[in-house]
Amino acid sequence: MNLITSTMKTSYIKLIVLLLGSLAGFRSFAQDIHFSQMEYSPLTLNPALAGANSPMQGIVNYRSQWNSVAVPYKTIAASFDMRFNEKNRTKKGIIAGGINFFNDQAGDLKVNTNNVNINLAYHLMLNRNSTLGLGIYSGFGQRSIDPNSGRWGTQYDGLAYNAALPSQETFNNATFSFFDAGTGVLYAYRKNQGYTTQNNQLSINAGFAAYHVNRPGYSYLDQNTEKLLMRYSAFANAEIGIQNTKGSVLPGIYFQRQGTSMEIFYGAYYKYILSSGSAATGFTRPMALSFGLFNRFSDAMVAKIMFEYDQYSAGFAYDVNISSLTTVSKARGGFEVFLRFNMNDGGGFRARI
C-alpha cells in the first residue's frame, strides 16, 4: 500500500528543488562566471582584448539568474583598459594594460567569489588595418562559503526538510585565496571606420585564450587534490556595414570549455544608425540602436538590445531557458545589463569590443 500522502509528496518535491539549488551551487565551484553579453566583458573573454579596439574603455556588468529555481545567482563585474603609447605616431605596436574585477554570489550556500586581475597586452601592427596581439593576466581570487545556509540530504527526516538535524558536513577551508594567471592571442581587422555615408565599414576580432594556466588549488576540503580547471575560450565576431544603408550586422560565435562543461554561443545583432553625428560642428552626436538574438546551444535563447550615444552605450539581455530545467525554471533564465564608456580613436561608431 502506498502510504505517501499528497502533503508528503509536496514536501518531497520542494526538498528536491532545494537540493537542486544547493547542487547547482556546488557544480559552479569549478566553473567560471559568464555573461550573455560576453563581448562587453572583454577581459573575461580574452586578456589580449586590452587596448585592442579602443584607446580607453570602462565597462560595468551586472547579471542575476535562476530566480525561479533557487536563491538568485548574482554577478557584478567591472573592467578598465587603455593604451599606453596612443600618442606615439611612429609606433610599430600598441602597448596596453587593464584591470578587471568581479564578485559572484551563488545559491543557498552563499558561495561568494571575488577576483581581481591585472592585464598586459601588446598588439603588433601587421599593416594599416590589422594587428596581432598577445595578452597575459595575473591576479588573486578569494572564495567563501556558509555551510550553515545549506540544506543537506541528511536533514531530510523522511517526511520533509528538518533544519534541526545536523548536516554532518565538514569544510576545512570555508574561506581560501588563490593566485591566478592566463594568456590569450587576438587578431583584429578594421577598415573604413569613422563617419561615412557609404556605411561600408568592416571590423573583425578573432581570438583564443587559456585561463587558470597555473591550476591553483580550488577546494573547501583539500587544496592539494582539487585544482581549478583551465578554461579555454575561442571567439570570432564582426561588424559588417550594409553599404548605402543605415544598418549593420554584428554576428558573433563564442566557444568556451572548462573540464566537462562546454558552451557554444552564437547569434547576431542588427544595428540601425539613428544619427551619424557631425564631425565638423560636434553638435550632433552619433546614436545607434541594436537588437540581437543569440542561442546558447541546448540551454537558452538570449534576446538583446543596446543603445549607443557617442562614446557611451548601455545594453540589456534576457535568457529564456530551453534546457531540461525548463520544467522547474518555467523558461526563465536570467537578465543582465552593462554600461560602457568607449573613447573612440576615429570618430563615429566603433567595433563592439
Is 350 domain-assigned? Answer: no
Q: Read off the pLDDT of each residue in 218-235 and give the average, rounded to a whole number.
A: 86
What integer pLDDT is reported at residue 161 of this predicted model?
73
For 273-325, give the DSSP string.
Answer: EEE---TTT--SPPEEEEEEEEEETTTEEEEEEEEEETTEEEEEEEEEE-STT
> Is residue 249, in this structure, part of any structural domain at all?
yes
Residue 348 is assigned to a structural domain of this protein: no
Residue of 89, 106, 95 lying closest to 131 (CA atoms): 95
How many CB atoms neighbour CB 116 within 10 A?
Answer: 13
- CA–CA distance, 110 with 41 (Å, rounded to integer): 24
pLDDT digits (tens, 9 = 90+) for 112-144: 999 999 999 999 999 999 999 999 999 999 998
At 295-342, the pLDDT tens digits run: 999 889 999 999 999 999 999 999 998 876 655 555 567 899 999 999
Contact predicate 235/46, CB 8 Å: yes
pTM for this predicted structure: 0.82
The number of domains in the chain is 1
Q: Which amino acid is at 45?
A: L
Give SS3 for 174. coil
Task: State the CATH number of the domain containing residue 203.
Answer: 2.40.160.40
Q: Say what the pLDDT of residue 21 is.
A: 42
In whole angstroms, how large is the CA radius of gyration of the chain?
23
Q: What is the pLDDT of residues 242-284, one digit of tens each?
A: 988 999 999 999 999 999 999 999 999 999 999 887 655 556 7
In single-letter form, the type of residue at position 212 comes to: H
Q: Which domain holds residue 133?
A: 6-343
Residue 1 lies in a domain: no
Q: Is 349 part of a structural domain of the chain?
A: no
- Please state the rounded mean pLDDT for residues 61-84: 85
Q: Pick the residue with more confidence: 177 or 1?
A: 177
